[in-house]
């Protein structure tokens, strides 16, 4: 038969045991690394300027999330007869090339290209503003096309979405950084610049 003292000891022991189990469960096994990082609030995009669609901090669908302010920016390069500006960022052996070109009022092209430390192209993302005819570059409508190619999977995948606009790219302030609409998924063609994989 339990006395009041025995009941009190039993209740306190049960409370102590429950509290101990709670502490053990809440601490977890600290010797194992977390497989999933804690969810953090999405960082806002950072734009280079209003006349460019270049973002230096972004989270592009199918391409990934990057903050290029933590990368090293190499000297800017201009290439070719048509003005093509290339910005190259490097980090831990990986490289992100951003290639931008504008032709006339209606044509604008932007490419992000991510390569691994071995120089292999992992992903590309193209954003283009084009018209129906190269010879009539100011003729509306303008087609905005966003294309992501992922070479990290086999077979490589391509994701593309398209929208129309009734303004030339130079009239759009700020210049859109993506297309809207539904993505269409397909198998990507091989990298058109195989020398980049050497």
Number of structural domains, the chain?
1
Q: Give pLDDT, residue 13.
A: 45
d(CA 174, CA 109) in angstroms, rounded, equals 15
Contact 98, 174 (CB under 8 A): no
High-pLDDT (> 70) share of the chain, %: 68
Over the stretch 83-129, which tens digit does the pLDDT of each residue have?
678 999 999 999 999 999 987 777 899 999 999 999 999 999 999 99
| Nearest CA among 195, 111, 127, 190 for reference residue 163 | 127
Whether 101 is covered by a domain: the verdict is yes
Domain hosting 174: range is 46-190
Residues in the chain: 198
Whether 15 is covered by a domain: the verdict is no
88 compared with 132, residue with greater pLDDT: 88
Whether 22 is covered by a domain: the verdict is no
Structure tokens at 157: 């995948």
Whether 178 is covered by a domain: the verdict is yes
Intra-chain end-to-end CA distance of the chain, in Å: 84
Contact 82, 114 (CB under 8 A): no
Whether 144 is covered by a domain: the verdict is yes
31 compared with 174, residue with greater pLDDT: 174
Whether 28 is covered by a domain: the verdict is no
Whether 163 is covered by a domain: the verdict is yes
Whether 37 is covered by a domain: the verdict is no
Over the stretch 12-59, which tens digit does the pLDDT of each residue have?
444 444 434 333 333 433 333 232 233 334 577 887 777 788 999 999
- The CB-side HSE value for 59 (13 A sphere, CA atoms) comes to 5
pTM, entire model: 0.72
Q: Give pLDDT, residue 98.
A: 95
């Amino acid at each position: 038969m339990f006395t009041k003292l025995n009941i009190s000891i039993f209740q306190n022991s049960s409370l102590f045991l429950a509290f101990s189990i709670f502490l053990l469960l809440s601490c977890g096994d600290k010797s194992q690394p977390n497989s999933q990082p804690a969810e953090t609030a999405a960082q806002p995009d950072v734009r280079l300027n209003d006349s460019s669609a270049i973002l230096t901090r972004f989270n592009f669908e199918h391409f990934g999330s990057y903050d290029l302010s933590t990368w090293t920016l190499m000297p800017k390069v201009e290439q070719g007869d048509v003005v093509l500006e290339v910005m190259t960022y490097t980090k831990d052996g990986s490289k992100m090339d951003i290639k931008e070109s504008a032709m006339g009022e209606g044509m604008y092209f932007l490419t992000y290209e991510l390569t691994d430390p071995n120089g292999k192209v992992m992903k590309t993302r193209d954003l283009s503003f084009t018209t129906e005819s190269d010879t009539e570059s100011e003729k509306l409508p303008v087609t905005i096309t966003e294309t992501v190619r992922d070479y990290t999977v086999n077979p490589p995948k391509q994701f593309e979405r398209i929208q129309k606009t009734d303004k030339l790219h130079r009239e759009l302030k700020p210049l859109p950084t993506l297309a809207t609409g539904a993505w269409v998924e397909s198998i990507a063609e091989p990298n058109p610049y195989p020398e980049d994989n050497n």
